[in-house]
Structure 1
Amino acid sequence: MKWLPHTLFGQIALALFVVLAIVQVLGLWLLLEDRGRLNYKLLAEYAAQRMAGIATVLDQAEPTERPMLVKALSVQPTMLSLSVPWAVEKIDESPDARLFAAEATRQLPQPLEIQMLALERIDPMLMGVHPPPRPNHPEGGHDSVLSRGKLFARTYVAQIRLHDDVVVTFHHLLPVPATDLPYRLIALLVLLGLATTALAIWAVRRLTRPLAHFSRAAAGLAKNLNQPPLPESGPQEVQQAVRAFNTMQRDIKRLVNTRAQALSAVSHDLRLPITRMRLRLEGDIAPELREKMARDLGEMDSMIGHTLDFLRAGSDTEPMVAVSLNALLDSVIEDMEELGATITRQGQCTHAIRARPHALRRCIANLLDNARFYGGGNIKIGVEETDTAVRISITDNGPGIPESELEKVFEPYFRIESSRARHTGGTGLGLPIAKAIAEAHGGTVTLTSGIGEGVTATLVLAKLSA
């Protein structure tokens, strides 16, 4: 899913937010549900208590006083009638009705017979219920929900038989559970959710920050083997991973240094017999043989030198300083033109860059030398400057490189025999050295080419930070 975050921090934060949102919504729903049930229970108990109280008053009153009491006590939501006979059918035996009757019976000081009726439509005239008159009604008539033959929601109709067998019919409207939202409670839950989310995000960020440092260090290990070790902070598992990474970095650095020292010693030992052989060539040897042996010894010496240069390409023995790229390019171009190259340059770099000048000079010289050997000597250099980097493109007019070989030419000792090495005798280390130096500077070297279209080498370097 494209909309999902790709980082560990984003995924954990999103999961926590979704879980908290679901919990908050469910909690609010449960609170509202419980509040509605409690509200309805309290009001229903009040209705049963009111019914029992009215029945007690009517039971204790004189028969002549009861009609006046019924008229006085018939106030919404409870309407009374003394004219409805005791029902023998349509008795409501539902659990709610039984609970309601039981609650009313409990509220009575003296036991009276109570029954709950279930009626879908109530005819107020049959019940003897007379709603209060509505003003401006023609003929002094009455209008109400009951007179229109409609029932209120949650309406109970009950009958109570007094001790003198008088039947009192109650029509009581139980309230609908409250549907209004408790805004203060919602605001409290939202505030609690936001505070919990912020705390969770802070905790996740604190846990994942060492992993971000770990990722950057792992990505930069190939470019700078001598980068400082990571601080061993964070949870125990992260500390163990960082400690293992630092140990691995030390081991790799020690292995590379040991390899470089061994090759350097071997190269030094090889140069001694090469020098002795050159001295012996000055003896009585045929000129043709002397020339061939001298050429072989020169190639051996050159290969040893290029191998040592490749091993030293990514080292940081030379300090990083501010370098004027324009002056460096002018110097390298001048050397290449003395070797017979024709170079056309476009663009300037107005800001300094941080670099190791001798190593960077070797990188650019290798790229130009590669273009001079394999591109016919006609070279175009373009310099483009952005806010953060400088792009140097070097284009030749040679036969080009197949697309499948563009990455392989950066491998040590790799040569494309059919189009290049046969005429140059190169060691296959020029481009690998240039790439190693560029990556040691935090830059990149890439090649683009097509058969018969020449090769464009692009060197990208970061500018000097303020």
Structure 2
Amino acid sequence: MRRLPRTLYGQLLLTLLTSVLLANVIGIALVLTDRERLTRTLRAEYVAQHLADMINLLDETPASNRAKLAGALSSPMVQVVLGHPWLDSRQTDWPEASKLCHLIRTDLNFPYQMQVLSFREDEPDAPEGLLAPFMEPGQHVFAPDKKFWVRALPSGLEEGEEELKIQMATVQVTLRDGEVATFRIGQVVSPEETPWRVTAWLLLVALVVAAVSAWAVRRLTRPLALFSTAASGLAANLDQPPLPETGTQEVINATRAFNRMQKELQRYLQTRSQMLAGVSHDLRLPITRIRLRLEQLQESPSRLAIERDLIEMDQLIGDTLAYLRLGQGNESCVLLNLDALLEGTIEDIEALGAQVNYTSSPVKPLLARPQSLRRCIGNLLENARRYGGDGVIEVRLGERNGRVEVMVRDHGPGIADADLERVFEPYVRLEDSRAKHTGGSGLGLAIARAIAREHDGEILLFNHPQGGLCAELNFPAQRPA
């Protein structure tokens, strides 16, 4: 099953070709079988009518002239013998005997006593001279399993050359005056040949059906292929041109629904952007007014607490707006030196007191969104600084199999396996404390994973065997052609 095509185009083409070829093979086999059966029937009827005419003619001929007539009627394929003793009919066990006898009796003028039998060369009861009356001296006759069939070498053919298959039988009739007429008949059967014409016909049918089916199936599935490509690129580029509404009615309906969905998404994002701009202005304006009023108050513990709350509110608003703006494609991809970007981000986290051990292997410049990627890596480093204790943060950069890998490891307590995926959900914090310096806003990892997926990548979390949590960022290394 693994070798079968997985695309709709391949499966439809394979189904059409298999069904058409199978139908042709079965139909041609039935035609050949019917043709062979008809050929045997016509031959048997011809032989029976020929024998019946000879029997009627011999019976109507005076006994004194029958010998000359028998000689005249004899031919290489039919031998007529008069006066031969009546043969033992115990050997007539082949199925064609009764059929041939019935066909002969149909054309006889009188219900003569008659028998149809055949002898094999190795049978002791076979009368001499009746096995192969038309063979030349030095030739031989032999019979395979069926008694009705013998093989004979025609005159002038040497041993080992092509042989003829001859169908032979012996017919005896008692004429009305009591004389026995014996007929030894033989008929050359067409040799079994390889049906080259049938094979060529099947090959021609296969080629024509393959060409027509490939064109038809490709014409039917091409809109679906475009539909699949457009659906895959919709997340990366929502402003891509609408799909052409072509193809069958079902495909046209699906394309219209897809284009309508794209327009609705564009309208929704535009509305959300306008709402975000309003929320950002409406929230930050009162915070700014509160800060100005705090400047008029004297230094006190209450004032410091209010300032901390305002800072936390401002960061929470900033993180929320940043998370909601993801996926709008506001930042373009540029050719980026990832090693330099990592060094700059590490310097920022070291300024906050973290210790970082950075190792990297050469990575060629690639296409990426620098600000988004810097924020993604910065969030991973900030989590390692915040929850990794006083240990050194290990950062490693490398490229393998066309994918860039950034590994960030801390030496903290790690995370329970059941929570490794849950921490990526927005506003999920594993700490009970709501303090900013311990719990954060709960959006850092959600933003980091969303940025990674914008680059067709992923972020994975796992506990290191020697302790600590590892965060792996990997995404394909896209470079200009």
TM-score using structure 2 length? 0.80
Task: Give per-residue Cα distances to partners, 1:93-125, cap 9 Å, x unaligned.
Answer: x997787567657878xx455665254758543
* 1:189 Cα offset (Å): 1.4
CA distance in 1, matches of 2:301, 2:346: 36
State the match for 2:420 in structure 1.
406
Distance 2:375 2:369 in 1: 10
C-alpha separation in 2, matches of 1:38 and 1:289: 113
1:122-146 C-alpha deviation (Å, 9 max, x unpaired): 854399778468757xxxxx98559
- Correspondence list, 1:70-219, <5 A: 70-71=70-71, 73-75=73-75, 77-84=77-84, 100=100, 111=109, 113=111, 117-119=115-117, 123-125=125-127, 131=133, 135=137, 151-153=147-149, 156-159=169-172, 166-173=179-186, 179-219=192-232
Distance in structure 2 (CA, Å) of the matches to 1:389 and 1:346? 17
Write the mapping of 1:224-235 to structure 2, written as runs, cut at 5 A: 224-235=237-248
- 8 Å Cα contact 1:80-1:170 kept in structure 2: yes
Structure 1 residue 23 corresponds to structure 2 residue 48: no
Alignment pair present for 1:430 and 2:444: yes
1:330 lines up with 2:332 in the alignment: no
Bigger drift between 117-126 and 183-192 goes to 117-126
Distance 2:319 2:475 in 1: 23
CA distance in 2, matches of 1:150, 1:408: 81
AA matched with 1:413: Y
Contact 1:59 1:163 in 2 (8 A): yes
**Runs (4+) of structure 1 moved beyond 6 Å?**
94-99, 105-108, 126-130, 419-422
Residues 1:371 and 2:373 are matched in the alignment: no
* 1:9 corresponding residue in structure 2: 9
CA deviations on 1:146-165 (whole Å, 9 max, x unpaired) are: 9x999324755445566766
Distance 2:319 2:473 in 1: 22
2:404 aligns with one of 387, 390, 394? 390
Tell me the distance in 2 between the aligned counterparts of 1:157 and 1:463: 88
| Amino-acid identity (%) | 44
The alpha carbon displacement at 1:256 in A equals 3.1
CA RMSD, Structure 1 to Structure 2 (Å):
3.9
Instruction: String of CA shifts for 1:295-325, please: whole Å, max 9, x gaps.
Output: 1111111111111111222221222222222
Q: 1:36 to 1:130 in 2, by over 3 A?
A: closer
Structure 2: where are the runs of 5+ without partners?
A: 150-166
* Structure 1 residues 401 and 215: CA distance shift in structure 2, 3 A: farther
For residue 442 of structure 2, give the secondary structure of its aligned residue in structure 1.
coil
| Matched positions, count | 458
Residue 470 (structure 2) aligns with: 455
Distance 1:281 1:96 in 2: 120
Aligned residues of 1:114 and 1:158 also touching (Cα < 8 A): no
Deviation at 1:435, TM superposition (A): 1.8
2:156 maps to which residue? none
SS at match of 1:181: coil
CA pair 177-298 structure 1, distance change in 2 beyond 3 A: same
CA–CA separation in structure 2 for the residues paired with 1:77 and 1:340: 114
1:449 Cα deviation after fit: 2.3
* Counterpart position of 1:36: 36
Partners of 1:348 and 1:384 within 8 A in 2: yes
Residue 422 of structure 1, CA deviation: 7.5
Helix, strand or coil at the partner of 2:242: coil
- The one-letter code sitting in structure 2 at the alignment partner of 1:281 is L
Residue in 2 aligned with 1:259? Answer: 272
**Quick one: higher RCO (CA 8 Å, sep 6+), 1 or 2?**
1
CA separation in 2, counterparts of 1:421 and 1:294?
Answer: 14
CA distance in 1, matches of 2:419, 2:183: 98
Unpaired runs of 5+ residues, structure 1, are 137-141
- Structure-2 change in CA distance of 1:116 and 1:215 (3 Å): farther
